Each structure stands twice: as C-alpha cells, then as structure tokens.
Homo-oligomer: A and B are copies of this chain.
Amino acid sequence: MNSFVQYAGPELATINELLLAEVERLDPVVQPLVRYVLEAGGKRLRPFLVLLTARAFGHTGEGAYPLACAMEFLHSATLLHDDIVDGADLRRDQATAHTLFGHTRTILAGDILLALANRLVADYDIPRLNGAMAEGIYRTAAGEILEISHLRNPGLGLGEYLDIVTGKTACLMAAACRCGALLAGAGDALVERAAGFGLNLGIAFQLVDDALDYSSCRAVAGKPVGADLREGKLTLPLILYFESLDAARRARLGEGFRNASLGGEEMDAIVAEVNELGLDRKTRDVAREYLDRAAEDLAAFPESRETAVLRDTLEFLHRREK
C-alpha cells in the first residue's frame, strides 16, 4: 500500500472530526450545505500537506490541526463559489451544492468558510502565516478570474494555461506547505523549498486532473468526461489537440469552441481523438516534469518518515485515476 494512503488513513478520522466540530459552531442555516460539501469526499490533500510539511520540519504535537483545517475550509469555499461560477451541476458524481441549496446559501457558505479559515490562521498570532494565507487566497481568486477571462478563447497559449493552473490550484497548495514549514519554524531557505514543493506538486495535480477530464470514464472521475471542453475551458489536452490539427480544421473547431457552437457528437469525437492521439498521456508527461521539480525541492527537506510519505505522494498523484 502506498505510504501516503497508509499515513493518511488514521489522520483522516482526526481531520474530519475537527472539521465537523468547527462546522457545528456555524449558523444552522449553512451547516447542512457545508456538511454536504465536506462529506462529498475529497482527499483532504491540503490538510495533509500542512501536517506532513510541519512534521517534516520537526513540528510535533497537535498544534498544526487548526491550520490544516483552515486549508480545507479555504479549499471548500473556493469549490462552492467556483461551482456557481462554472455553472457546474456535478462534482465527484454528486450534485453541486448550489443546485441543491441555491445561489444565496452557497455564496454565504463560501464566505463564512473563507472567514473561518482566516480566523483559524489569525488565532496562531504568527504574522507570516497570515501573509502566506492572504497571498494564497488572493492568487487563488486571481487564478479563477484569469480562467474565466480566457473562457472559450481557442488562442490560449501554454504559458497562460500554466498561469491559470498555478493560480487556481497550485498557489493554495504552496501556501499549505509554506504554512506548515513556517509553523515548524523552518529557516527562510527551507520555507521557500517547502512552498516550491507545494507549487510544483499543485501544478502537476491540476495537469493530471485536466488529463483525467478527457481520459477517465465518468464512473471513475465522478464527473462527465470532457466537462472542461463543454464548459469552454481550454486545458492542456485540448491545447495539444488544436496544435495537432491542420490550419483549416483548427480554425473551424476554434471558432466552434469560441462560439459554443460545437455539437454534442462533435465534442464526443474530439474527446475520442484526444485519447487516440495519447494527449492525456502527454499531459501526464508534462505533469511528470513538475513532479520532478517537486522532488528536487523535497530533496532539501530533512529526511523523516513524513518526507518519505511526501515522496510517495508524488508517485501517487502521477498515477491517480480519479
């Protein structure tokens, strides 16, 4: 069994208990919604990154748990708002919160979770934690905005795509690792290594996610295959696909993508072609490059059980099928 899973198993119960204990203090009007989101699954990757990084740098005791919870609440808050923004009906094969609870409660639940995360971090009274958190929140929101601003833009380049991925996903993971290292009192150079590890891991994580969106069967991914294409998001598999076409076809499909005028069968055909051309695998190859960079950052960590688990986590993320 993968050491990440082995390590995570016993921790998961603690984290979930603490998350739900915080939720019980919220107003009853948002509790069912927040519980729904938290119980919809999720790997609790961000809390684990906080715990593992803090412990890798010598932090002991229970003190890292509120910080770990803060990162999960922050992540949940972004999911709630993003699902409205994306008009997504499904996440992990379940109806998204806003389709069940409406926009009003979903917006408010996102706001209160963000506020709760802020408060949990502020309670540490460590200025640099607040700074790292504020930067993480800011860049996550900016990444989401960047993605929306390029919606249905068939001319999106690799650099801009990576900016979006970095903002919307990787910066929060970087913040999780940075905060873990700061909490443990690691020196500046190691804090930067920890943040770099989280950033590169986060980019790889999103790249694999974007590959899965094309390659995975719906039952495994918990959402429809090709959802990104349907939502007008140009991710790496589709960027590579457009690059593989001759100019005339690229222009025609690009226009269809821009105008949201591609038919259902046409989109199914594109998804099939992306797979036939192995572009999901190529996307995973790019993810591999970022995992290698993450491994380089990890090499600067002191050796420990947690450092070994983080190393295994990189493999786990690369191979994941959901």
User: Chain A residues in contact with chain B, CB under 8 A?
Assistant: 26-30, 81, 84-85, 103-105, 107-108, 111-112, 114-116, 118-119, 121-123, 125-128, 130-131, 133-135, 137-138, 140-142, 144-146, 148-149
* Chain B residues in 8 Å Cβ range of A149: 27-29
By the criterion CB–CB under 8 Å, are B107 and A30 in contact? no
Dominant secondary structure of chain A at its interface with chain B: helix
- A-B contacts, 14 of them at CB < 8 A, read A27-B145, A29-B146, A29-B148, A29-B149, A30-B145, A111-B114, A111-B144, A115-B134, A115-B141, A119-B134, A119-B137, A119-B138, A121-B134, A125-B128
Complex interface: chain B residues within 8 A of A144 (CB): 108, 111
Interface hub of A103, A105, A141 (most chain B Cβ within 10 A): A141
Inter-chain contact A135/B148, CB cutoff 8 Å: no
Closest B residue to A29 by beta carbon equals B149
Inter-chain contact A122/B115, CB cutoff 8 Å: no
Residues of B within 8 A of A121 (CB): 130, 134
**A135 contacts B119, CB within 8 Å?**
yes
A115 contacts across to B, CB distance below 8 A: 134, 137-138, 140-142
Residues of B with C-beta under 8 A to A123: 131
- Residue of A115, A122, A144, A146 with highest tally of chain B CB at under 10 A: A122
Question: Knowing A138-B119, A146-B27 touch, does A84 contact B104 (C-beta < 8 A)?
Answer: yes
Partner of A118, one of B28, B103, B116, B138: B138
A68 to B29, CA, bound (A): 32
Please, which residues of chain B bring their CB within 8 A of the CB of A116?
138
Q: Are B81 and A112 in contact (CB under 8 A)?
A: no
Which one of B104, B133, B145 contacts A122 once the chains associate, using CB atoms below 8 Å? B133
